[in-house]
């Protein structure tokens, strides 16, 4: 394992040297994807099990990390939620489709056959998740699985400085791709909670459902809510699998036909016959 760790760090530093830049989190994620022959993505925890993507090696991996943040399901979402490493070599299999009924078909449709994700953190403290998206099915080899864990450790070490805070490079990465979006989503969830008269948790579910239904990211829908281009006050908005959150008001007693009126209408029909 010590030799593998040295190899992992050599691959990271070689990538940074080829660019003429200092070693950073981005280099660790990219080197990990290259080592396994897969697209790679890094998402960071926002607390409460939710997360936001901050870096991906390619557009497909970025899209899939974002989709997991929208749906709240998928390998990275599970890892950040507290599950151990997720190693799914048969994404089109019945088990994966049952486990992630929305994410798995979407990923398969994009040409992904296997997904893997490991925690970035120490013990139960999850800073984020490192995810891999591969074009062909099958498990990782033992060497690849070990390397994936070592790359996740490298991401953690590069993200934290000696004082336990974020290193300058990681702070810049988070500021660009994470902090602003997280603030917007939290603000939008608060607005939706007020509009629907539901808890913040249910408001987040409604926001995710709307994003998925429209084929957009949760951040895009949140931006529309904040700009007041979109409101969740319409009666048709509902939580998945449930009744509409807001229902049309019931007819008042004044509007409801009375038995006497019903009888009169019946008599008139009989006379006309």
d(CA 46, CA 149): 22
Q: Which CATH architecture has domain 2-159?
A: 2-Layer Sandwich (3.30)
Beta strands in 12-66 (DSSP E): 39-47, 50-56
**Nearest C-alpha neighbor of 87 from the set 95, 99, 78, 75:** 75
First-last CA distance in the chain: 94
- Residue range(s) occupied by CATH 3.30.450.40 in the chain: 2-159
d(CA 209, CA 240): 7
Residues 118/211/56/40 CA torsion (nearest 10 deg): 40
* H or E element that contains 121: strand 114-122
Number of H helices, E strands in the chain: 12, 5
Per-residue pLDDT in tens (0 to 9) along the chain, 273 residues: 677 888 899 999 999 999 998 888 899 999 999 999 999 999 987 665 567 888 899 999 999 998 898 888 999 999 988 888 999 999 999 999 999 999 999 999 999 999 999 999 876 677 889 999 999 999 999 999 999 999 999 998 888 753 344 554 544 544 444 455 666 777 888 888 888 888 877 777 788 778 877 878 777 888 888 888 888 875 555 444 444 433 333 333 344 444 444 444 444 444 444
- C-alpha Rg value of the chain to the nearest Å: 25
The total of other beta-carbon atoms located within 10 Å of residue 13's CB is 14
């Amino acid at each position: 394992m010590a030799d593998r760790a040295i190899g992992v760090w050599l691959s990271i530093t070689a990538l940074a040297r080829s660019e003429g830049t200092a070693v950073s989190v981005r280099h660790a994620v990219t080197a990990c994807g290259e080592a396994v022959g897969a697209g790679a993505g890094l998402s960071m925890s926002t607390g409460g099990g939710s997360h936001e993507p901050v870096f991906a090696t390619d557009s497909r991996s970025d899209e899939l990390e974002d989709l997991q943040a929208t749906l709240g399901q998928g390998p990275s979402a599970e890892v950040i939620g507290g599950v151990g490493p997720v190693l799914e070599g048969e994404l089109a299999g019945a088990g994966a489709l049952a486990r992630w009924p929305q994410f798995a078909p979407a990923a398969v449709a994009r040409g992904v056959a296997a997904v893997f994700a490991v925690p970035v953190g120490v013990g139960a403290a999850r800073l984020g998740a490192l995810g891999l998206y591969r074009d062909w099915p099958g498990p990782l080899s033992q060497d690849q699985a070990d390397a994936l864990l070592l790359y996740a450790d490298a991401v953690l070490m590069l993200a934290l400085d000696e004082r336990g805070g974020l290193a300058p490079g990681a702070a810049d990465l988070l500021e660009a791709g994470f902090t602003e979006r997280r603030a917007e989503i939290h603000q939008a969830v608060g607005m939706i909670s007020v509009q629907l008269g539901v808890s913040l948790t249910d408001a987040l579910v409604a926001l995710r459902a709307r994003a998925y239904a429209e084929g957009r990211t949760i951040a895009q829908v949140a931006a529309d809510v904040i700009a007041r281009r979109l409101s969740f006050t319409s009666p048709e908005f509902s939580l998945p699998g449930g009744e509409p959150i807001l229902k049309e008001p019931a007819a008042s007693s004044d509007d409801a036909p009375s038995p006497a009126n019903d009888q009169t209408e019946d008599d008139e029909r009989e006379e006309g016959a």
